[in-house]
Amino acid sequence: MPSFHSLDSSTARNVMEYLHQLSRQGRTIIFSIHQPRYHIF
């Protein structure tokens, strides 16, 4: 997966929403980001 810093804020939010949907379906999501903003979670 590309780093989040290269994505505009709208696309980064879309990626996070997609990962959230996958997690609600029972998928395990593991990733690492640097200096995450609290409101993302």
Q: In terms of DSSP H, where are the helices of 1-41?
A: 9-24
Task: Give phi and psi for 18, each to the nearest 5.
Answer: -65, -45
Q: What is the pLDDT of residues 1-41, one digit of tens each?
A: 556 667 788 888 898 899 999 999 999 998 776 666 666 66
Query: What's this model's pTM, rounded to 2 decimal places?
Result: 0.64
Cβ atoms 4, 15 nearer than 8 A: yes
**For position 4, what pLDDT does the model report?**
65
**For position 36, what pLDDT does the model report?**
61
**For position 37, what pLDDT does the model report?**
65
**For position 39, what pLDDT does the model report?**
65
